[in-house]
Amino acid sequence: MESHAEPVEVEPMPGYLDLICRASTVMLGAWRNCAECGLELSRRTFLDNAFINWTEIALFLFCAYLWTQVRQGLTESLFKPLARWCTLLPKDAAKMPESAWKLVFYSMSWSYSSYLLFFTSYSFFHDPPSVFYNWKSGMPVPIDIAIAYLIQGSFYGHSIYATLYMDAWRKDSAVMVVHHIITLALISFSYAFRYHNVGILVLFLHDINDIQLEFTKLNVYLKSRGGGYYLLNDVLSNMGSVSFSITWFWFRLYWFPLKVMFATCVSSLQSVPNIPFYFFFNSLLFALLLMNIYWFLFIVVFVVKVLKMNGVNDVREYEDEDSSKAAAAAAAANLLDIDDDDDDAGHHNSAQG
């Protein structure tokens, strides 16, 4: 099975209504035409089109283990001593290493995704349908994209373990575990089925928010270090929260559906009429979109509280404290402790991964 579509003039990005109408029409037509859809066809399609070897699986497991060890090493040798040196409040000192670690990782991963999309010959961002140009089953994965997949896939493997056993447990942590599993599934299957071009785009659109999120949280912790008040960190935390809110909508709720999901729902069948696991991958991407909307509801609450209280507070933490502590925390603790580790693939992302 191979794509026969040649590169054409870049199609303008659709609007929401165009996406809904065209995607629903195309998907409904694909469903009606799939007379053989079922477990047997899925089994044959999987065996015929999934390409991943034991060396790649071993590398994934090794790197997931390596991320865990690197995080533990940085936490004990750098992040915890830094928290003590800054004399953070106990509740902030307990959370600071997690945010510092994620800021380091996502800054690195997003920078690499940006490099691939804007400083190489890949045109996936400006021309999303091009992710399926010249697609064929079992096609080789370019080494630069394969490196990005190894980094991201192993990190999300590590993140499932970290959310359960290393991170502070929050009221949306269960959703986070589901998010990591879906993202890892998108990354793994999109690599095996050679939808890696889509995955890079999904990872790029999701990782930027994590940088802003962790930057903001660190400044929230730092602004009250030593029991004092530091204006610079307060200003930076508010600037970060505003930037985070805007880019969450722009990248995850605007560009993600209109660039990625339009390409996977509509353009994919134009380039590859019998593309493998069309409904499966689009279902995972739709689940990722729903989670982005779910977290956006937290962000709306965050914006309302900031406007009312003139401070970055937390909608997920301190719910177990007594009323007097909760009242104080409502004005000074972290509303923006809303974690998402996207995309897919990817993502992260997508066909993120």
pLDDT of 12 > 90? The answer is: no
The structure's pTM equals 0.81
Interior/surface letters 210-232, b for 16+ CB within 10 angstroms, e for the rest? bbbbbbbbbbbbbbbbeeeeeee
Confidence of residue 327 (pLDDT cuts 50, 70, 90): very low
As given in the structure block, the two tokens for residue 57 are: 């699986």
Determine the pLDDT at residue 106. Answer: 96
Residue range 187-204, pLDDT digits in tens: 998 999 999 999 999 999
pLDDT at residue 318 is higher than 70: no
Q: Which pLDDT value is given to residue 307?
A: 66
HEC-encoded secondary structure of 61-126: HHHHHHHHHHHHHHHHHHHHHHHHHCCCCHHHHHHHHHHHHHHHHHHHHHHHHHHHHHCCCCCCCC
Q: What is the mean pLDDT of the chain?
A: 83
What gap in Å lies between CA 352 and CA 179, rounded to an integer? 12
Query: What b/e string do you get for 100-112 counting C-beta neighbours within 10 Å, with b at 16 or more?
Result: bbbbbbbbebbeb
Tally the C-alpha atoms within 13 A of residue 280's C-alpha that lie toward its C-beta. Answer: 18
Distance CA 2, CA 15 (A): 29
**d(C-alpha 109, C-alpha 99), whole Å:** 15
What is the rounded distance in angstroms from the CA atom of residue 239 to the CA atom of residue 106? 19
Longest dimension (CA), the chain: 68
| pLDDT for residue 319 | 41
Q: Give strand pairing partners of 136.
A: 2
- pLDDT exceeds cutoff 50 at 332: no
Residues 82, 71: Cα–Cα separation, whole Å: 15
Cα separation, 80 vs 86, in Å, equals: 10
Q: Give the residue, 68 or 335, on which the prediction is more confident.
A: 68
What does the DSSP 8-state code read for residue 317?
S
The H or E element spanning position 217 is: helix 196-222
Please give the pLDDT value at position 49: 80
The predicted model gives 80-100 an average pLDDT of: 92
Supply the DSSP string of 277-303, one letter for each residue. Answer: THHHHHHHHHHHHHHHHHHHHHHHHHH
Question: 150 versus 37: which is more confidently predicted?
Answer: 150
Distance, in Å, from the CA atom of 239 to the CA atom of 243, rounded to the nearest integer, reads 6
Q: Whole-angstrom Cα distance, residue 78 to residue 184?
A: 29
Look at residue 312 in the predicted model and tell me its pLDDT. 57
Q: How far apart are CA 320 and CA 213, in angstroms?
A: 23
Lowest-confidence segment of 42-46, 118-122, 229-233 by average pLDDT? 42-46
Could you write out the DSSP letters of every residue in 38-55?
Answer: SHHHHHHHHHHH----HH
Using 50, 70 and 90 to split pLDDT, how confident is the model at 320? very low
Q: What is the pLDDT of residues 200-232, one digit of tens each?
A: 999 999 999 999 999 999 999 999 998 889 999
Q: Is the pLDDT of residue 124 over 90?
A: yes
Q: Determine the average pLDDT of the residues in 114-127.
A: 96
Q: 195 and 320 in contact (C-beta within 8 Å)?
A: no
State whether residue 337 is helix, strand or coil: coil
Give the DSSP H/E element, type plus range, for residue 328.
helix 323-332
Tell me the range of 97-111, 156-170, 284-298 where mean pLDDT is highest: 97-111
Amino acid at 192: A
More confident residue, 289 or 353: 289
Which of 291, 347, 286, 345 lies closest to 131 in space, CA to CA?
345
